[in-house]
Each structure stands twice: as structure tokens, then as C-alpha cells.
């Protein structure tokens, strides 16, 4: 993949040469030796120019034969010419004084990309023996051992290249308006565009192609001139019904001492203004001058964003990250972790139905190059990524997948030979039946997180999934099959069912709610008393102490209440009326089978209440409209108030409770811990704001 090789491996490496065309050579370079000229272009990542000069130097420079061959291998690798890269690596693999662990890894990867599976496996095993066991290498060996599995469903996923492909690069399509927007290095006549020295192709822009009839696309045109600049733009992700978007673009940092322009990728947001106008691009807050942030995938409500970055502290070359919009700003991005990210490259995330994550990776088990994978969230992170297999994936680079709104078809990008020598767009018709649903506890009807689902065909497990923290699950099943579903969660009885995808239309869906019964039950029976009399129809809060999850129950006409507690967990029950309070703490039951009945009693006592004022000051000045957070540390109840024009709030303090009081205003805060009416008779508390660290 010529262009994508540059985008992923060069833009993320962020080294761009000042001269933008390889033909721009000055008199000084002509006087240099051929090898030194080649080294100059190699260091500037101008690999096409470097290859031409290295090949000439190979005929003249006998002293540097090994080094020149290594440089040729690396240059072809960076341009993703896998056959040429393999040829030159093979020639130097026995020169131990010249090659290192990365060269061995590169050679094994090129053999895999060229479908030489046994040779690739042998070199991966040599790598582990020579340099120590590597998790990425183990995944690659496992992938080679099960290579036939990736071809099993090849007839159920017909693909074909699009008519709008050219000899240039086209990739990462997304649906927009009445057609698709995609990224391309083709050069529109109306745009003055520089060329990229790395492969002498135009820089990337966004193009729009409208559906003329069914899936036939019109001649592409530049999508938006205000967005398309003289450097790289794309890919793009639309959300909120196509009225907002986030796209990838270069931004420039000049380093004059090094005489090099360092170009990184960043994410920029835009919003539709009228029929054909868009707002000015706004840089997202986590863009950074020291590394790249790219390839946005965003939920339709705009609150959940995935992206790729080579920021320091990751697992490998580029990792996937996630951030949430909290209503006012984006949270600090979080790495998706080792179940997704590897020591290779993870790129091009895509979010389907806001719950299934598709992405491309060089680090997981696969057919070679970038393969496309899918996963979904589990309570503890993400489930094991699933390789989509052939023909969506090939031995070359496959990436940038998108589904049509019907989920019956879609597009993806690939640099496989069928569509041309560069990245091209392919259409596919898939076909999965989506099984989605919700799992609850039967008696309490509460969602169950981290429930394991296993799908088997003829006694062999073929798919797995887990519920998220809302008890939801979504699994893509193959059509025309009869699955055995097994559902497991600790302390609950196993659940089995038959899920049939036979006689269902393409991209059909099955929806089911599953109720799990407890294997071990702890039933709490209690009574509420005050002054030796039962108290009826009172609201009682049952709180699990570790998670702080609360349920509301009520005492009946006999003053009794009933509650099913989770075994092994500690619970806190309390009643808080206007003038009385009572509570009880129940320790975890240790019973492992059957039903355990636990009796308890809540005794109510009257308490005093007093109005307490809180004055928030910034220096000597009352702080107006400052946020004050009141936390009752006995019941964990939290209230939020804002100060009035005098910088004050008033609340009703209860004598049984301890309070933590915090205030926030702009970049300052204040805190008072363990305020109690019984130990503190002050009725106006003063909080002095200080700058946060």
C-alpha cells in the first residue's frame, strides 16, 4: 500500500522532508557520492529517490554491499512493496553482524504477506529463540497454524472493486448524504496540490461520490474546498445525522535548527452551517505537537470517540484510545489496553451500532499486513478480537471498513492486487445475523455485567461474548446455522438455549432477554422498630458497600421488609425519615449452596436538625455561583448547590450524620471533612478557595 504505507509509517513517525519533490536536487547533492545522496533521502523518508540511488550505489560501492541491501529492504518495506522487501532481506539474513531483531521481524512479516507461511513461521520461531518470547510473534505463529480457518466463510462474503478506483490511492469510505465520502491521493484539476516526495503522489484529500443507481457511483468530486488544504486530509467520521464530523489533517511544526518540517496528524471537528457550508475546523484538545492523533470513530450522539495515536506510553507503534464527552469537555483519552493493542500497529477504528468496534492491526493473528478485526466491550474491557477472514482480509493491507445503514453491505479498503497497485475501495455483501439482548437477575430484575456467552456448532465453541455494565450484549452470527448458546455467571445457574439463524434474511437480527436464576441465594428478612413498635410503609435503602449500588425497598403493613442480597457481599440498610434515622450493617454470607435466610432489625432513633450556612470566599471576596457539593458520608447521599449573590448556601444538617463539604469555582477549590453537629456548634462555615494543584 504505497500511500498508506507513508501515512501510517511516515506520518505517525512524523518525519517529513523540506523538499517536497524528489526531482528538486541542488548542485551540492550532485557532487556527493551516490551512497551519501541515497542516505540523505533515506533519512528524509524519501524512499523512492533513495531506492534509485541505492541501486546505483550497489553497482559501484563494494565496501557497503550489506548495508545497501538492508537499506533497500527497509525502503521497499516502507513503501509496502512486499516482494522486493522480502528479496533484499533474504539476501542479508545470514549476515549476523548486520541484522538485528527488527530486521528478522520484518523478514518474517514479509514472508507472511507473500503467503510463504511455513517459511514465515520458521523465522518467527527463530526470532523467539534468538531474542526471547514475544507476544506478537506468538500471535502470528498461532495465526499461521490456523490459517485455513480464515478462508472457511469465503463464499458468504462476495466482494468487488469499485469503478471509481484509480491508479492513485482511495481508502476509508464513509456514508454521507446521498453517497460516500472517501480519502484519495487523486489530484483534482481545480486544486493546486503539492506532491509527496515519498512516492511522488499527490497529498490526500476528501472526495464525494453520489449514488446514481443502486450501488453505481458518480465521478468523484472534492468534498469541501474549505477543508481540503495543500497537505493531508482524511479520513473523516460523520455523526449526529451528518451535521457534525471529525476528520484527520496535518498540522505543521517548524524546527528551523533541524531544517525539517515536522508534520503530525491531528483530529479536527467541524459543524454543518446551512445547506453546503461547514464551520471552521476546531482542533481537538488532545492533539499534540509531539505525536500524531488520527482516524476518528465516534458514536452517533457524539459522546464516545475512538482514535489511533502513537503517543508515548503505548504498547507499540500506534494504539487505539477512547475518550468520552462529559457535557462540557472531552475526558483524558484512555488506552484500550492489551486485549486490543499490541506491539504492532492498531489503526482505522470504526464503531457499528455504537457497540461493535472494528479496527485494523498488524499485531494480531491474521493473513498478513493489516487485517480487519471486530470486538465488543466486556465488563473488564474488550473481548478477544475476531479476524473477519477472507475475502475481507487478504495477505496485504485491509482496513477502513464501513457498513451501510441496512447492515447488509458496505465498503472497505485494500491494497490487494485485484483493484490496482495502490489502495482501492471494495464493496462487500456480508452476512451476519445479529443476536442482541439483555441479561438480568430473575428475582431482582437488575442488569448483570460480565456474563459470559458461548456459541457452539456441533459441540465446538466458535464465538464468545460478554455483557457490558448495562447487561447488554451484541454478537454477529453466521447465517444458516443452529447455535447452542451457553450462558455463565458465578453464583447463577447455567443457562442454555438454541439460537437458529436459518431462514433469516441477510443482516437480520434476533433480540432476546435472558433471566438468570441465583444458584446461591441470601434472603434478608427484616423489621423496622421504633420505641418497641413496628413502623410500617417506610422507605428503606439497601446499599452494597463496595460498589455503592443502591436499591429501594419498603416495609409492609407488618413493618417487615424482604430483600435478595448477592452472596459474598456486604450490605448496609438504612432508614432516613424527617426526624428519625436507623441503620444496620450485614456481613457477607459464606454459604456456597442453596438458600440462606438472614434475619435483621433496624431500630429508629430521633435526631436533631439545624440549618447550617456555608460561605465560600475567594480571598476576602464572597464567591458567587460557586459549586458546593455536600456528601453525607453515612448514607453516601450527595447534593450539589450553587452559592447566591452573597456567596452562601444553606442546608439542613442532621445530627447523626458526618458531612464532607467541597466547593469549586473556576480553577480553585476548598474542602471541609467530617463536619458533625454534635462536635461542631458553628452554624456558619467558611470555605476559602485556593488554586488546585
pLDDT digits (tens, 9 = 90+) for 290-322: 899 999 999 999 999 999 999 999 998 899 999
Mean pLDDT of the region 37-57: 93
User: What pLDDT was estimated at residue 504?
Assistant: 65
User: What pLDDT was estimated at residue 3?
Assistant: 38
Pairwise CA distance, residues 524 & 430, whole Å: 51
Which CATH architecture is the domain 2-154 placed in?
Alpha Horseshoe (1.25)
Which CATH architecture is the domain 155-430 placed in?
5 Propeller (2.115)
Can you tell me which residue has the cell 469499485?
162
Residues 6+ apart with CB under 8 A from 83: 114
H-run or E-run covering 18: none
pLDDT tens digits for range 260-275: 445 789 999 999 987 7
Mean pLDDT of the region 443-457: 87
Pairwise CA distance, residues 201 & 250, whole Å: 16
Residues 6+ apart with CB under 8 A from 673: 660
Can you tell me which residue has the cell 453515612?
634
597 within 8 A of 590, measured Cβ to Cβ? no
Written as one string, the DSSP assignment of 372-389 is EEEEEEETTEEPPPEE--
H-run or E-run covering 628: strand 627-632
User: What pLDDT was estimated at residue 545?
Assistant: 86
User: What pLDDT was estimated at residue 427?
Assistant: 93
C-alpha cell at 50: 533513495
User: What pLDDT was estimated at residue 143?
Assistant: 92
- Residue 193's pLDDT band, with cuts at 50, 70 and 90, is very low
User: What pLDDT was estimated at residue 572?
Assistant: 92
CATH superfamily of 609-691: Carboxypeptidase-like, regulatory domain (2.60.40.1120)
Percent above pLDDT 90 for the chain: 53
pLDDT tens digits for range 549-595: 889 999 999 999 999 887 778 899 999 988 899 999 988 776 666 67
Kindly provide the residue ranges of all beta strands, DSSP E only, lying in 316-363, ordered along the sequence.
Answer: 319-324, 334-335, 346-352, 356-361
Pairwise CA distance, residues 300 & 236, whole Å: 14
User: What pLDDT was estimated at residue 357?
Assistant: 93
Residues 6+ apart with CB under 8 A from 140: 108, 109, 112, 120, 124, 365
Written as one string, the DSSP assignment of 567-609 is TT--EEEEEE-SSEEEEEEEPPP---SEEEEEEEEEE-EE--E
Pairwise CA distance, residues 628 & 618, whole Å: 14
561 within 8 A of 527, measured Cβ to Cβ? yes
Question: Any long-range contacts for 275-284 (C-beta under 8 Å, 24+ apart)?
Answer: 278/224, 278/226, 278/227, 278/245, 281/227, 281/247, 281/249, 283/251, 284/246, 284/330
Q: Of 307, 468, 464, which Cα lies nearest the Cα of 380?
A: 468
Spelled out in words, what is the top-level CATH class assigned to the domain 520-606? mainly beta
390 within 8 A of 426, measured Cβ to Cβ? no
pLDDT tens digits for range 314-359: 998 899 999 999 888 999 999 999 999 999 999 999 998 888 899 9
HSE-up of 413 (CA within 13 Å, CB side)? 29
Per the model's pLDDT, the better-predicted residue between 203 and 384 turns out to be 384
pLDDT tens digits for range 222-235: 988 667 666 788 89
User: What pLDDT was estimated at residue 140?
Assistant: 94
User: What pLDDT was estimated at residue 334?
Assistant: 95
490 within 8 A of 569, measured Cβ to Cβ? no
Pairwise CA distance, residues 402 & 348, whole Å: 10
Given the candidates 2.60.40.1120, 3.40.50.300, 3.90.79.10, 3.40.50.2020, the CATH classification of the domain at 435-516 is 2.60.40.1120
Task: Evaluate if residue 18 carries a pLDDT over 80.
Answer: no
Angle between helices 101-113 and 117-131 (to 10 degrees): 160
User: What pLDDT was estimated at residue 226?
Assistant: 63
316 within 8 A of 341, measured Cβ to Cβ? yes
3-class DSSP state of 220: coil
Mean pLDDT of the region 610-617: 93
Percent above pLDDT 70 for the chain: 86
User: What pLDDT was estimated at residue 693?
Assistant: 67
520-606 and 609-691 have identical folds: yes
C-alpha cell at 416: 490487494
Direct distance between the N- and C-terminal alpha carbons of the chain, in angstroms, rounded to an integer: 47
Residues 6+ apart with CB under 8 A from 483: 455, 456, 457, 462, 463, 477, 498, 499, 500, 501
Sketch the domain layout of the chain as residue ranges. Answer: 2-154, 155-430, 435-516, 520-606, 609-691
Mean pLDDT of the region 431-445: 83
C-alpha cell at 513: 432477554
Task: Evaluate if residue 439 carries a pLDDT over 80.
Answer: yes
Amino acid at each position: 500500500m504505497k500511500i498508506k504505507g507513508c501515512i501510517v509509517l511516515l506520518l505517525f513517525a512524523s518525519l517529513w522532508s523540506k523538499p517536497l519533490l524528489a526531482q528538486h536536487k541542488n548542485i551540492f547533492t550532485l557532487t556527493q557520492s551516490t551512497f551519501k545522496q541515497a542516505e540523505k533521502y533515506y533519512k528524509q523518508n524519501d524512499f523512492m529517490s533513495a531506492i534509485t540511488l541505492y541501486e546505483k550505489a550497489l553497482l559501484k560501492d563494494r565496501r557497503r554491499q550489506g548495508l545497501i541491501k538492508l537499506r533497500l529492504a527497509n525502503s521497499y518495506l516502507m513503501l509496502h512493496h512486499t516482494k522486493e522487501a522480502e528479496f533484499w532481506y533474504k539476501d542479508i539474513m545470514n549476515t549476523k553482524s548486520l541484522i538485528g531483531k527488527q530486521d528478522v521481524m520484518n523478514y518474517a512479516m514479509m514472508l507472511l504477506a507473500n503467503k510463504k507461511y511455513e517459511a514465515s513461521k520458521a523465522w518467527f520461531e527463530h526470532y523467539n529463540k534468538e531474542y526471547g518470547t514475544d507476544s506478537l510473534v506468538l500471535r502470528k505463529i498461532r495465526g499461521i497454524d490456523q490459517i485455513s480457518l480464515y478462508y472457511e466463510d469465503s463464499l458468504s462474503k462476495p466482494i468487488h472493486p469499485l469503478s471509481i478506483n484509480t491508479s492513485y490511492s482511495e481508502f476509508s469510505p464513509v456514508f454521507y448524504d446521498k453517497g460516500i465520502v472517501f480519502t484519495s491521493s487523486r489530484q483534482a484539476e481545480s486544486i493546486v496540490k503539492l506532491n509527496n516526495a515519498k512516492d511522488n503522489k499527490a497529498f490526500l484529500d476528501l472526495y464525494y461520490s453520489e449514488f446514481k443507481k443502486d450501488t453505481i457511483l458518480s465521478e468523484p468530486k472534492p468534498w469541501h474546498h474549505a477543508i481540503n488544504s495543500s497537505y493531508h486530509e482524511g479520513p473523516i467520521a460523520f455523526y449526529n445525522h451528518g451535521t457534525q464530523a471529525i476528520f484527520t489533517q496535518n498540522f505543521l511544526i517548524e524546527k528551523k535548527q533541524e531544517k525539517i518540517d515536522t508534520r503530525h496528524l491531528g483530529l479536527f471537528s467541524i459543524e454543518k452551517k446551512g445547506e453546503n457550508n461547514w464551520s471552521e475546523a476546531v482542533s481537538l484538545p488532545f492533539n499534540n505537537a509531539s505525536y500524531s492523533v488520527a482516524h476518528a470513530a465516534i458514536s452517533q450522539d457524539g459522546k464516545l470517540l475512538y482514535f489511533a495515536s502513537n503517543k508515548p506510553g503505548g504498547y507499540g507503534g500506534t494504539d487505539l484510545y477512547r475518550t468520552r464527552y462529559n457535557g462540557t469537555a472531552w475526558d483524558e483519552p484512555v488506552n484500550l489496553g492489551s486485549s486490543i493493542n499490541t506491539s504492532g500497529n492498531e489503526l482505522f477504528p470504526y464503531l457499528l451500532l455504537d457497540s461493535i468496534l472494528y479496527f485494523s492491526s498488524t499485531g494480531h493473528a491474521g493473513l498478513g499486513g493489516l487485517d480487519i478485526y471486530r470486538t465488543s466491550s466486556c465488563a473488564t474491557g474488550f473481548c478477544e478480537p475476531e479476524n473477519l477472514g477472507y475475502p475481507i482480509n487478504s495477505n496485504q493491507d485491509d482496513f477502513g471498513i464501513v457498513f451501510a445503514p441496512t447492515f447488509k453491505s458496505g465498503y472497505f479498503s485494500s491494497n490487494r492486487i485485484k483493484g490496482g497497485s495502490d489502495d482501492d475501495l471494495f464493496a462487500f455483501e456480508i452476512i451476519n445475523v445479529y443476536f442482541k439482548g439483555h441479561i438480568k437477575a430473575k428475582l431482582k430484575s437488575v442488569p448483570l455485567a460480565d456474563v459470559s456467552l458461548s456459541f457452539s456448532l456441533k459441540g465446538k465453541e466458535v464465538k464468545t461474548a460478554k455483557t457490558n455494565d448495562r447487561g447488554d450484549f451484541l454478537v454477529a452470527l453466521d447465517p444458516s446455522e443452529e447455535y447452542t448458546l451457553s450462558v455463565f455467571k458465578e453464583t447463577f445457574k447455567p443457562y442454555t438455549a438454541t439460537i437458529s439463524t436459518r431462514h433469516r434474511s441477510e443482516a437480520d437480527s434476533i433480540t432476546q432477554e435472558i433471566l438468570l436464576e441465583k444458584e446461591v441465594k441470601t434472603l434478608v428478612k427484616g423489621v423496622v422498630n421504633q420505641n418497641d413498635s413496628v413502623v410500617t410503609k417506610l422507605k428503606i435503602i439497601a446499599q452494597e458497600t463496595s460498589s455503592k449500588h443502591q436499591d429501594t425497598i419498603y416495609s409492609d403493613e407488618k413493618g417487615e421488609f424482604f430483600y435478595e442480597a448477592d452472596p459474598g457481599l456486604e450490605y448496609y440498610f438504612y432508614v432516613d425519615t424527617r426526624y428519625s434515622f436507623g441503620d444496620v450493617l450485614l456481613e457477607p454470607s459464606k454459604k456456597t449452596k442453596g438458600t440462606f435466610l438472614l434475619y435483621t432489625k433496624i431500630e429508629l432513633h430521633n435526631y436533631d436538625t439545624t440549618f447550617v450556612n456555608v460561605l465560600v470566599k475567594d480571598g476576602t471576596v464572597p464567591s458567587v455561583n460557586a459549586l458546593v457539593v455536600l456528601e453525607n458520608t453515612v448514607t453516601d447521599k450527595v447534593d450539589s448547590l450553587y452559592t447566591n449573590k452573597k456567596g452562601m448556601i444553606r442546608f439542613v444538617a442532621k445530627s447523626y450524620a458526618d458531612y464532607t463539604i467541597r466547593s469549586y469555582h473556576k480553577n480553585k477549590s476548598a474542602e471541609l471533612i467530617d463536619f458533625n453537629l454534635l462536635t461542631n456548634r458553628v452554624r456558619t462555615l467558611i470555605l476559602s478557595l485556593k488554586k488546585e494543584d
